[in-house]
Amino acid sequence: MRVFLVAGEPSGDRLGGALMEGLRSLDPQVQFDGVGGPLMQAQGLQSRFPMAELSVMGLVEVLPKFFHLKRRISETAQAVLDTQPDVLITIDSPDFSLRVAKLVKASSTIRTVHYVAPSVWAWRPGRADKMAKVIDHVLALLPFEPPYMERAGMECDFVGHPVVNEPVATGEDIAAFRLAYDLGEAPIVLTLPGSRGGEIDRLAPVFGDALRLYLQDSPDTRVVVPTVAHMVDVVTEHVRSWPGNPVVVDPRNMPSDDAVAQKRAAFAAADLALAASGTVSLELAAQATPMVIAYKLSWLTQKMAERMVKLDTVTLVNLVSDTRTVPECLLDDCQPEQIAAALRQVADAPTGQRDAMATTMERLGRGGEAPGLRAAKAVLARMSA
């Protein structure tokens, strides 16, 4: 079987890597082609171009790269048409992925699968109907998503989230991490200002000011900042002025497995986390690390989002657990004073949030079959039906 995959950012690379591992376990002769990051490449993908080129978000951020992205969309779709795989699997990054799928469907009958259902339960419900014109099958991460996709005419399977199958860092892992970065027994605030250049530029100054306020009452606390390889220099420059003698966890010279293990240990070692909105909330939940979520958009993108978002929370832990235990400082509320107050609130009473995180992991499939394998089985079962 020949599979063409397209992922556009680190979270998609993680999903793709787990799916590829599952497919290979079911069909050792499977052949992969497409675009992906280090985790997909570790499973045998030779990426046609660097995945980092696609890691942009928001109208203002995309505009300067519009023509380059449009060219990459055409190139990727043509590569699919030229190679005629048995299935095209696009992973998240819908602005890029679904445009590729549209071009492929316009000129072929190649089966299309999209991994990660669009959040139509949160905003722009009409996206499901548009997506159904170019996508045959959806792999959903959240248990309540399949009915939305099926109503639009697509096949859909809930396969769980790969984060539930990842190891939990041990006490030895945490001790080794603290020793490696000379952290001693100091309290740790994990700080995650995003994985894209634009969001880091927007969030890092606000996060730094929030930490300065929070650490006034906890001067011995250390700040730890994991990041992705292509953003290390950007993040390092931003944190120079931060309090807490920041440690940037640099994955560039590590094998991919070691880099993932280091990040996991950093998450588990932390007493508290301040993170950009996104799937990172699930990674923190997997390690039972209490968190505050904060995010702001460019002005124009924010005004568009304010008109379209339908929910009172965007954090997956809150949504899946059906609680609101993770504080959010979003858009106009993404201010240092409000973030610092939320950090104090969570630090003083983390138990309720930890209970919600455990519920989230259970509902996403922890303890069951690996989500990557479930996704692979769903792809093959629908193809043979």
**Could you read off the pLDDT of 156-210 as tens digits, one per residue?**
999 998 889 889 999 999 999 999 999 999 999 999 999 888 899 999 999 999 9
* Measured distance CA(343)–CA(5) in Å, rounded: 39
Decide if pLDDT at 69 tops 80: yes
Half-sphere exposure of 221 (CA within 13 A, CB side): 24
Q: How confident is the model at residue 57 (pLDDT cuts 50, 70, 90)?
A: very low
Which token pair is 219?
């001067």
Decide if pLDDT at 97 tops 90: yes
Q: Which pLDDT value is given to residue 241?
A: 94
Rounded to the nearest integer, the mean pLDDT of the chain is 91
Q: Could you tell me how far CA 49 lies from the centroid of its own chain? A: 20
235: closest CA among 221, 225, 223, 224? 225
* Measured distance CA(109)–CA(87) in Å, rounded: 10
Q: What are the beta bridge partners of residue 138?
A: 114, 156
Q: How confident is the model at residue 59 (pLDDT cuts 50, 70, 90)?
A: very low
| DSSP, residue by residue, 345-357 | HHHH--HHHHHHH
Decide if pLDDT at 304 tops 80: no
229: closest CA among 204, 247, 254? 254
Q: How confident is the model at residue 64 (pLDDT cuts 50, 70, 90)?
A: low
* Measured distance CA(170)–CA(302) in Å, rounded: 40
Spell 339-373 as b/e; 16+ CB within 10 A means b. Answer: bbbbbbebbeebeebeebbebbbebbbbeeebbbb
Any idea of the CA torsion for 279, 242, 326, 374, to the nearest 10 degrees?
Answer: 20
Q: Which pLDDT value is given to residue 9?
A: 87
Q: What is the DSSP letter of 159?
A: -
Q: For 84-95, write each residue's pLDDT tens digit.
A: 999 999 999 898
Q: Which pLDDT value is given to residue 162?
A: 80
Q: Give whole-number Cα distances, 200 to 157, 180, 228, 269, 307, in Å.
A: 34, 26, 12, 23, 24
* Measured distance CA(186)–CA(350) in Å, rounded: 18
Spell 153-192 as b/e; 16+ CB within 10 A means b. Answer: ebbbbbbbbbbbbbeebeeebbebbbeebebeebebbbbb
Decide if pLDDT at 71 tops 50: yes
* Measured distance CA(119)–CA(128) in Å, rounded: 9
Q: Which pLDDT value is given to residue 340?
A: 98
Specify the pTM. Answer: 0.76
